[in-house]
């Protein structure tokens, strides 16, 4: 219970912290759930992005969130998204009704804000027997839906499911089978940044970083 509560609490304190980014590269906005919280807070995601020249305009991640939960956050972040060159979505592990219909809803919303931005979607993977909501469609079910919409909606799928399946020992999980150890999050974040590659240059000379801390409550 301690492991599960510590790794998958559904409550968050979403404070923002501002700081000067070392990079003058393209701005990337990331929206995700607790797995993105882990990459951000335990896997040094922002530092790894900066090493590749990315300016993380915001890493918006909240434990337990699905697409429906994230849509209001995207509305709140409209000004940040409008200025972003790249958008990364990392959602789908937390179940929701009408997941298939929610995919075009979030993509359309983002495209209305940032029509020229490159959009990526990182697909999902949990271990067999994972402690997860029984309404979860399963890795294959969720990922088929993500993939099936990609061409029509114009986003690129980052195939995390294949990577972690082929290299399971590289990304150790906690006992819940959903979340990773600190080293697992670090390797996951490295893989993600390697998939994104070097950031394209931008004319911006004074970027800033806005990071949702996503610190979970302990009670």
What is the β-pairing status of strands 215-216 and 12-13?
antiparallel
Mean pLDDT, the chain, integer:
86
pTM of the model: 0.84
Q: Which of 5, 15, 59 is nearest to 37 (CA)?
A: 59
Q: How far is CA 31 from CA 10, 60, 152, 172, 196, in A?
A: 16, 5, 21, 23, 15
**Residue 212 structure tokens:** 């949702």
Distance, CA of 104 to CA of 160 (rounded, Å): 21
What is the band of 170 on the pLDDT scale with cuts at 50, 70, 90?
very high
User: Is the model's pLDDT at 21 over the cut of 60?
Assistant: no
Q: Using one digit for the tens of pLDDT, what is the confidence trace for 101-153?
A: 999 999 999 999 999 999 999 999 999 999 999 999 999 999 999 999 999 99
**Residue 12: what pLDDT?**
40
Q: Using one digit for the tens of pLDDT, what is the confidence trace for 61-90?
A: 999 999 999 999 999 999 999 999 999 999
């Amino acid at each position: 219970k301690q492991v599960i509560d510590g790794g998958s609490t559904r409550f968050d304190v979403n404070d923002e912290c501002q700081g000067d980014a070392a990079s003058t590269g393209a701005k990337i906005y990331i929206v995700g759930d607790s797995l993105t919280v882990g990459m951000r807070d335990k896997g040094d995601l922002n530092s790894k992005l900066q090493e590749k020249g990315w300016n993380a305009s915001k890493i918006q991640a909240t434990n337990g969130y699905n697409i429906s939960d994230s849509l209001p956050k995207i509305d709140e972040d409209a000004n940040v998204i409008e200025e972003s060159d790249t958008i990364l979505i990392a959602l789908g592990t937390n179940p929701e009704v009408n997941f298939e219909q929610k995919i075009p809803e979030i993509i359309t919303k983002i495209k209305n804000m940032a029509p020229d931005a490159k959009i990526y979607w990182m697909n999902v993977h949990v271990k067999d027997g994972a402690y997860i909501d029984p309404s979860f469609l399963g890795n294959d079910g969720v990922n088929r839906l993500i993939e099936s919409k990609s061409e029509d909606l114009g986003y690129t799928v980052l195939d995390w499911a294949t990577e972690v399946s082929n290299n399971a020992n590289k990304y150790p999980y906690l006992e819940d089978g959903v979340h990773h150890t600190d080293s697992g999050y670090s390797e996951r974040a490295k893989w993600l940044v390697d998939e994104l590659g070097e950031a394209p240059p931008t004319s911006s000379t004074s970027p800033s970083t806005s990071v949702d801390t996503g610190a979970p409550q302990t009670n």
